[in-house]
A and B are shown apart, each in its own frame.
Chain A
């Protein structure tokens, strides 16, 4: 490889750390491009995109794309969602606090970045990881595992924490000046904030956002429920999208309701009627409800009564519900379920 201008490929989430890692290398005159992987679970304000917008709030945005825009770098957006299924369903290194397979996930992403490095002629790869910042993947004993299992040993630089790590190839070869790298560690983010101020980085998302839905307790519970009642740990892209929308209730093992919480969410859910049963009240405002599974006729009546409970007709003696499935329509008159008949355990 020609040593002309040194080119590095980074993993960019758009958060503060990965943005700073880019800036630290740019300060050394290194040409930087980044990659952002789409796993299907990424938090990109999806909930915000599905719900009615808050008055005056700007529309949600893709953090990595906007960081790349501000940094003036090329960003490769790569969809790994299909391959990622096996990482989520069967992680070699197990899960974190929820269904987040962080170590396997990092290994997989670094491995993909290494493939891109080879194909696109980058000199090395880098991440914004900081030692001790995350309990599962950013530890002294897990960094070498990531490097080894991804095949990146020596070629993965972590500019923000490099001074606490063994010297890497780009440093040995003089491509990167180690003296101008950092030795951050732990969960205290003050040093990163000071560096951000020094480098003029002011527009970054709050660190509380997290990487993905898999670290979210509620989301993980819904995914667990899906696996349990399907009897298999598989999922389709539609499944993981629907887990982000609506109120999920399972009154019996054979079926689940996804109940829209506002007009925008109703609209979103209406796009997923195929292969499911769709319920809504006739001529009364209220939720659009999707039913997944195989409810018995009695259970479908219960589903209608439950759906009516969340609509404007909840106090009426009777509500007419429209049931759509496989292109046919049926009308059922039901009594909305009284609040005290809704079991707490139905909420997924």
Chain B
């Protein structure tokens, strides 16, 4: 088993439903400098789709998401940019 990233901050969003894990992660990011690593623990399986999307929208870097039983942990490195890249015209597909 590979080693886990070492987070600077951990958000425990277990038993919270979408979008609370993301809202908690967003609030926690305020307390991290750019380049800091946040770990988000969640039990709502939606985290596997929402965390990557949230990272793209906010310019953060997703290191990985690991599942252990009914629980997921995602590690995110805080990005330095304020906003998402300019709009692409093609927004089809998932």
Contact = CB atoms under 8 A, between A and B. Distances in A.
B15 A268 contact: yes
Interface string A81-125: 000000000000000000000000000000000000000000000
A77 to B, nearest CB: 6
Contacts of A69: 53, 56-57, 84
Given A38-B19, A59-B45, A77-B22, A71 B91 contact: yes
Nearest to B54: A65
Contacts of B14: 271
A72 B86 contact: yes
Interface residues of A, number: 39
Main secondary structure of the interface of B (DSSP, over half): loop
Nearest to B85: A72
A62 B53 contact: yes
Interface stretch (A41-49, A173-181, A249-257): A41-49
A79 B23 contact: yes
Nearest to B52: A69
Q: Contact residue range for chain B?
A: 35 or more
Interface of B: 14-15, 17-20, 22-23, 26, 43-46, 48-50, 53-54, 56-58, 70, 82-94
Given A38-B19, A74-B57, A74-B84, A66 B49 contact: yes
Nearest to B51: A65
Nearest to B58: A74
Interface stretch (A195-203, A217-225, A280-288): A195-203
A294 interface: no
Contact of A60 (B18, B20, B58, B94): B18
Contacts of B87: 26, 32, 71-73
Nearest to A67: B91
A189 interface: no
A143 B44 CA distance: 37
